């Protein structure tokens, strides 16, 4: 609980001015309009000050419901004028007596208004009516009175006078005539709290420095005046700045890990020939993954080229009969035409085989080498919460002597440990271009089960023969978006990649600090 002095120090210039007005008004209950009338602050400034004063516990703002007297549509005709009875009286004071027809002409009022006016004047004995000559005449009482009670009451209401107790009769009368009515109104009212009263009774109008300016600093005004305190505990606006996409954080982490492990980055094209996407790695030409159901083929460009004719021949041999690898091959004719069809690459292994085919085969690179890529791949899928037609794949491979299945496990374990995924398990699997092949499973302690986080293997002899590679090649890969779904706990994959990604998530996502993997 801050002391009265602390509270006073936190008051801004406007809050102080509002408090001064409140203290001057001296009422128990008041409204912002009343403060506005007595100060030169804008209504917005008052409202903000009241809000701050309320936050500081000095005032309380609350709603009251009251039946208020309001002027009706009919009554509004007289707001800037006077009531007809007053008009007629004023005219009589001048003319003493006048024909009704002349009243209508001179005052430009409606006959029914005149009837009401005459009724009021006669009832109050302020005028007399001669029915035969249709003439009205002022009485002695009429000469004495200057303003009619109904007129006084009406003015009091127009001017929003607080105390209307003197006009009960007249208000009733005006209501009967349909010029006034009651309306239930909700109003914001303000009152001082006990704390507010204490502050007001203390010397709160001290002169403080509200805003530090270069002049104040230079002229050392702060030596003599105190600097206003802030309410440091009150809420502040929620902001955002520019940020990396959450996927980027994962990709950067993966890239960093590969670099730490001595891998070099590689990059290959999105548009591929079937050759580099499939044939080059001994995927048979009738493999289900090559169907249009699974892969995006292209109308434009419809066909690519493989300029290395010797490579085409070598691939043809291992495909058809295993060549000199000791393999049976697929024992079916291999079509070059099929291999030259273009498509959107379905995996980043296409990039790996470009490195094997363009660089290692041509002796532009010599093993040992380690490479990685993190880039986009495409699958012909219908997009829904579980599937995308494109996503990011990571691929890393090592070409070196003496690599074995145990080395592959070692590299993968190192990689995932660096990712923060410590408890992993390997499951044998089948890939057309690696043998043995392993899926990598990680223990997800929130879900309480093993989840697949990668795929891997040792390239088959048939896949390497065309590139003249005799060293073992180990490789592994994973899908970034799947991992991101686990890390950021997002169920709908479309919220991660593509236009449905929520900009508010990008503004305010939490960086992945917590280990979800055991």
Partner 1 sequence: MPVIDVRLSRLNKLIGRDLSLEELDNILFTFGMELDSAKQVESNDYQLKIEITPDRPDMLSIWGLARALRKYLSLELGIDRYEIRESNYMIFVDTSVAKIRPYIAATVAKNVKLTEEDLEDLIYAQEKLHETFCRGRKKASIGFYPFRKLDWPLHYKADYPDNIRFKPLGANTVMNGIEILREHPTGQQYAHLLKDAEKFPVFVDNSNHVLSLPPIINSEDYGKLTVDDRDILLEVTGTHKPTVELVVNIVTAILSDMGGELYNVKINYPSASEVSPYMRPKRWGLKTSYVKKVLGVEIPKEKIRTLLNRMGLDVISQKENELEVIVPAYRADIWHQIDIVDDIARAYGFDNFEPELTPVFTTGGVLERSQIIDYLREILIGLGFTEVFTFALTNKDDQFAKMGLDTPDSVVEIKGAKEEKINIVRKWLLPELLKTLAYNKDRKYPIKIFEISDVVELYNGSDTGAINRTKIAVLSAHKEASFTEIRSISEYLLRSIGITNFEIRRITHGSFIEGRVAGIFINERNIGVLGELHPAVISNWGLIIPISALELNLDEIMKWSYKPVEVA
Which residues, numbered 149-168, are part of the site for partner 1 (CB under 8 A)? none
Q: Is 245 in the site for partner 1 (CB under 8 A)?
A: yes
Closer CB to partner 1, 108 or 307, in the complex: 307
The two beta strands, 226-227 and 208-209, are parallel
For the bound state, the minimum distance from the C-beta of residue 514 to partner 1, rounded and expressed in Å, comes to 22
Q: Is 301 in the site for partner 1 (CB under 8 A)?
A: yes
Single residue of 135, 139, 187, 407 touching partner 1 by CB under 8 A: 407
Q: How many CB atoms lie within 10 A of CB 100?
A: 18
Q: Is 421 in the site for partner 1 (CB under 8 A)?
A: no
For the bound state, the minimum distance from the C-beta of residue 490 to partner 1, rounded and expressed in Å, comes to 13
Show contacts with partner 1 in window 164-193 (CB under 8 A). none
Residue 2, both tokens: 């801050």
For the bound state, the minimum distance from the C-beta of residue 357 to partner 1, rounded and expressed in Å, comes to 8
For the bound state, the minimum distance from the C-beta of residue 343 to partner 1, rounded and expressed in Å, comes to 9
Show contacts with partner 1 in window 24-83 (CB under 8 A). none
Q: Is 500 in the site for partner 1 (CB under 8 A)?
A: yes
Show contacts with partner 1 in window 358-397 (CB under 8 A). 358-359, 365, 368-371, 376, 378, 380-383, 389-390
Looking up tokens 């805003």, which residue turns up? 211
Nearest residue to 50 via CA among 36, 67, 64: 36
Show contacts with partner 1 in window 224-243 (CB under 8 A). 240-243
For the bound state, the minimum distance from the C-beta of residue 401 to partner 1, rounded and expressed in Å, comes to 8
Question: Which residues face 517 on adjacent strands?
Answer: 444
For the bound state, the minimum distance from the C-beta of residue 481 to partner 1, rounded and expressed in Å, comes to 9
Show contacts with partner 1 in window 306-365 (CB under 8 A). 306-307, 322, 325-329, 331-332, 342, 344, 351, 354-355, 358-359, 365
Q: Is 205 in the site for partner 1 (CB under 8 A)?
A: no
Nearest residue to 256 via CA among 359, 396, 368: 396
Cα distances from 427 to residues 24, 354, 403, 486, in angstroms, run: 83, 28, 19, 20
Residue 406, both tokens: 């145990």
For the bound state, the minimum distance from the C-beta of residue 42 to partner 1, rounded and expressed in Å, comes to 23
> b/e per residue, 301-316, with b = 16+ CB within 10 A?
eeebebeeeebbebbb
Q: Is 427 in the site for partner 1 (CB under 8 A)?
A: yes
Q: Is 220 in the site for partner 1 (CB under 8 A)?
A: no
Q: Name the phi and psi angles at 132, rounded to 5.
A: -70, -50
- Judge whether 399 and 368 are in contact, CB under 8 Å: yes
Annotate 385-424 with three-state secondary structure.
CCCCCEEEEEEEEEECCCCCHHHHHHHHHHHHHHHCCCCE
Helix (H) or strand (E) holding 483: helix 480-488
For the bound state, the minimum distance from the C-beta of residue 416 to partner 1, rounded and expressed in Å, comes to 11
Cα distances from 175 to residues 72, 79, 198, 510, in angstroms, run: 9, 15, 44, 64
**Rounded to a whole number, what is the distance in angstroms from the first to the last CA of the chain?**
45
For the bound state, the minimum distance from the C-beta of residue 187 to partner 1, rounded and expressed in Å, comes to 32
Helix (H, G, I), strand (E, B) or coil at 457: strand
Single residue of 129, 429, 443, 451 touching partner 1 by CB under 8 A: 429
Stretch that binds partner 1, among 148-156, 171-179, 215-223, 421-429 (CB under 8 A): 421-429
Helix (H) or strand (E) holding 506: helix 503-508
Show contacts with partner 1 in window 261-280 (CB under 8 A). 261-273
Show contacts with partner 1 in window 445-474 (CB under 8 A). 458, 460-462, 472
Single residue of 208, 400, 451, 485 touching partner 1 by CB under 8 A: 400
- Judge whether 440 and 455 are in contact, CB under 8 Å: yes
């Amino acid at each position: 609980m801050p002391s009265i002095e602390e509270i006073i120090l936190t008051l801004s210039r406007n809050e102080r001015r509002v408090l001064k007005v409140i203290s001057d008004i001296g009422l128990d209950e008041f409204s912002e309009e009343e403060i506005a009338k007595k100060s030169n602050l804008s209504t917005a400034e008052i409202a903000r000050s009241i809000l701050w004063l309320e936050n500081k516990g000095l005032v309380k703002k609350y709603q009251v419901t009251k039946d208020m007297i309001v002027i009706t549509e009919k009554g509004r005709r007289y707001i800037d004028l006077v009531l007809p009875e007053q008009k007629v009286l004023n005219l009589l004071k001048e003319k003493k007596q006048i024909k009704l027809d002349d009243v209508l002409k001179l005052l430009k009022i409606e006959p029914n208004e005149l009837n009401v006016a005459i009724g009021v004047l006669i009832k109050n004995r302020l005028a007399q009516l001669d029915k035969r000559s249709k003439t009205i005449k002022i009485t002695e009482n009429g000469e004495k009175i200057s303003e009619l009670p109904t007129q006084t009451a009406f003015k009091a209401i127009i001017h929003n006078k607080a105390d209307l107790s003197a006009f009960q009769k007249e208000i009733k009368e005006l209501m009967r005539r349909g010029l006034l009515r009651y309306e239930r109104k909700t109003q914001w009212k303000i009152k001082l709290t006990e704390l507010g009263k204490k502050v007001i009774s203390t010397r709160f109008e001290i002169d403080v420095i509200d805003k530090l300016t270069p002049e104040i600093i230079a002229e050392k005004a702060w030596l003599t005046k105190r600097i206003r305190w802030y309410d440091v505990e009150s809420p502040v606006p929620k902001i955002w700045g520019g940020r990396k996409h959450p996927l980027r954080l994962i990709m950067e982490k993966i890239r960093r890990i590969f670099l730490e492990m001595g891998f070099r980055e590689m990059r290959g094209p999105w548009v591929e020939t079937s050759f580099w996407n499939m044939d080059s790695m001994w995927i048979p030409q009738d493999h289900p993954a090559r169907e249009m159901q699974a892969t995006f083929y292209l109308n434009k460009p419809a066909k690519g080229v493989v300029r290395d004719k010797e490579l085409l021949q070598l691939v043809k041999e291992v495909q058809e009969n295993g060549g000199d690898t000791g393999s049976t091959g697929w024992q079916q004719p291999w079509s070059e035409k099929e291999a030259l069809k273009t498509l959107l690459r379905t995996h980043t292994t296409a990039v790996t085989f470009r490195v094997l085919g363009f660089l290692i085969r041509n002796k532009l690179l010599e093993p040992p080498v380690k490479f990685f890529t993190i880039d986009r791949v495409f699958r012909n899928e219908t997009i829904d919460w579980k599937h995308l037609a494109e996503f990011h794949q990571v691929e890393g491979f090592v070409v070196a002597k003496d690599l074995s299945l145990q080395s592959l496990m070692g590299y993968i374990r190192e990689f995932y440990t660096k990712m923060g995924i410590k408890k992993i398990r390997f499951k044998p699997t089948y890939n057309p271009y690696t043998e043995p092949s392993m899926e990598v499973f990680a223990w997800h302690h929130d879900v309480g089960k093993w989840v697949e986080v990668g795929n891997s293997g040792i390239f088959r002899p048939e896949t390497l023969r065309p590139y003249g590679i005799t060293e073992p090649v180990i490789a592994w890969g994973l899908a970034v978006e799947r991992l991101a779904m686990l890390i950021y706990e997002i169920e709908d994959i479309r919220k991660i990649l593509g236009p449905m990604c929520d900009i508010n998530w990008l503004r305010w996502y939490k960086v992945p600090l917590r280990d979800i993997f055991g």
